Chain A
Amino acid sequence: QQPVQSPQAVILREGEDAVINCSSSKALYSVHWYRQKHGEAPVFLMILLKGGEQKGHEKISASFNEKKQQSSLYLTASQLSYSGTYFCGTWDFGNEKLTFGTGTRLTIIP
C-alpha cells in the first residue's frame, strides 16, 4: 500500500516555506525523499532511518516519527530551483522494497 502524501500540490512565492507530509499505515524501517523535475528522473534527497532523526541538506530538512509512521519534508526560504514533484518512499519491515507515495507537486513562482 502506497504511503499518503499531502498536500498533492502547492504553489509558493520565492522565499516562502513549505512542508510536505508523508504517512504510512505500516511500521516503517526508513523513509526516503526524492525530487523529480519535469521530464527527468527522480533524484535522491535524503534517507531517514527509524529513531526519530532529523536530517538536513542546506535549506531542505526532514523528520521521521516512527511511532506515528510519518515523515515531513521542510523546505525553507524556497528557491526557484526547488520546483518539481517530491516523492516519499517507505521501506517497511519484512519487505525488501521501496514503496513511493503519489507525489507532491511544488511550484515556486518569482
Chain B
Amino acid sequence: EAQVTQNPRYLITVTGKKLTVTCSQNMNHEYMSWYRQDPGLGLRQIYYSMNVEVTDKGDVPEGYKVSRKEKRNFPLILESPSPNQTSLYFCASSGPSGKLFFGSGTQLSVL
C-alpha cells in the first residue's frame, strides 16, 4: 500500500531535549516536505526536499533541521525544542503529478 509513515504519533518532551520525528515513503517520490499546523494559521511549510541531498527552507524553518540521505526518508530534527514548537506536524511526499500524500501527523508538546 502506498503510504507516508510518520513516527511517533504523539510526543511529549521538555524544553531543550533533542528529538527526531521520522518520515518514510514507499512511493519512490522525489519531493518531500514538512509542515506544521497551528489553529488559525493553516499548514505552514518548514523544509522541503527536491531529491536526495537537496533540501531547502520553507516559510518557518527556524529551530528545525532536516536531512535527505535516502530517497525514502526525510526526518525532522529539533535540536533544542521550545514551547513555541508545540504543534501538529505533517510530512508529505509527491511524485510528478504534484499530488501530495500526507503522513498521519505527529502531535508534539514541548513543556
Spell out A's residues near B (CB within 8 Å).
Answer: 2, 30, 32, 34, 40-44, 47, 87, 89, 91, 96-103
Contacts and interface: CB of A to CB of B under 8 A. Distances in A.
Contacts of A91: 98
A41 B97 CA distance: 19
Majority DSSP secondary structure for residues of A touching B: strand
Contact of B45 (A40, A99, A102): A99
Interface of B: 31, 33, 35, 40-45, 48, 50, 56, 58-59, 90, 97-105
Contacts of A41: 90, 102-105
Given A42-B102, A44-B99, A97 B58 contact: yes
A78 B48 CA distance: 35
Contacts of A47: 97-99
B100 A44 contact: yes
Contacts, number: 57
B50 A96 contact: yes
A19 to B, nearest CB: 19
A42 B56 contact: no
Given A42-B102, A44-B99, A98 B33 contact: yes
Nearest to B97: A47
Contacts of A96: 31, 48, 50, 56
A98 B99 contact: no
Smallest CB-CB A-B distances: 3 pairs: A41-B102, A102-B42, A100-B43
29 contacts: A2-B42, A2-B44, A30-B98, A32-B100, A34-B100, A40-B104, A41-B90, A41-B102, A41-B105, A42-B90, A42-B100, A42-B102, A44-B100, A47-B97, A47-B99, A87-B43, A89-B43, A97-B33, A98-B33, A98-B45, A98-B100, A100-B42, A100-B43, A100-B44, A100-B45, A101-B42, A102-B41, A103-B42, A103-B43
